[in-house]
Amino acid sequence: MYLLDTDHISLIDRGGQEAQAIRSRLGAVEGEAIFASIVSYEEQMRGWLSLIHSLKSVDRQVEAYHRLERLLQFYCATPLLPFDGGAAEQFRRLWAARLRIGTMDLKIAAIALANGATLLTRNTADFGKVSGLRVQDWST
């Protein structure tokens, strides 16, 4: 089971060589084994809604809404792992360990740990601090 971190989802959306590398590796994995998290969805929605709110030009809003729609289609097609009781317990354990990584990253790590998933991310420096978390970067 693989959990896409927010950065890998963003790379896929942007396209380019890194996206091609990720898509190629994902293509070799059974579709039922690829997940995103509700926390990544939250991060990306907050970002897009903030951007759209800040745009004054209607023409720029049209493009931003188009990208937001593309993101929605991605999340509709990709199964989500929840931040549930098991993830909350892992989060509390990680929080108590006082790891120096962001709260949202701690939540994503907790979801991966609670589900026995390998986290796909470029942020191996931060996520590598989480004991027991399997981390891989498929963007290279």
Delineate the domains of the chain, giving CATH numbers in brackets. Answer: 2-43+80-136 (3.40.50.1010)
Q: Does the pLDDT at position 32 exceed 80? A: no
Phi and psi angles of residue 117, each rounded to the nearest 5 degrees, phi first: -95, 150
> Cβ distance 45 to 14 under 8 Å?
no
User: pLDDT tens-digit profile of 92-111?
Assistant: 999 999 999 999 999 999 99
- Average pLDDT value for residue range 77-84: 96
Rounded CA-CA distance 89/111 in Å is: 10
The burial of 129, by beta-carbon neighbours within 10 Å (0-12 exposed, 13-18 middle, 19 or more buried), is given as middle
Q: Is 86 exposed, middle or buried (0-12, 13-18, 19+ CB in 10 A)?
A: middle
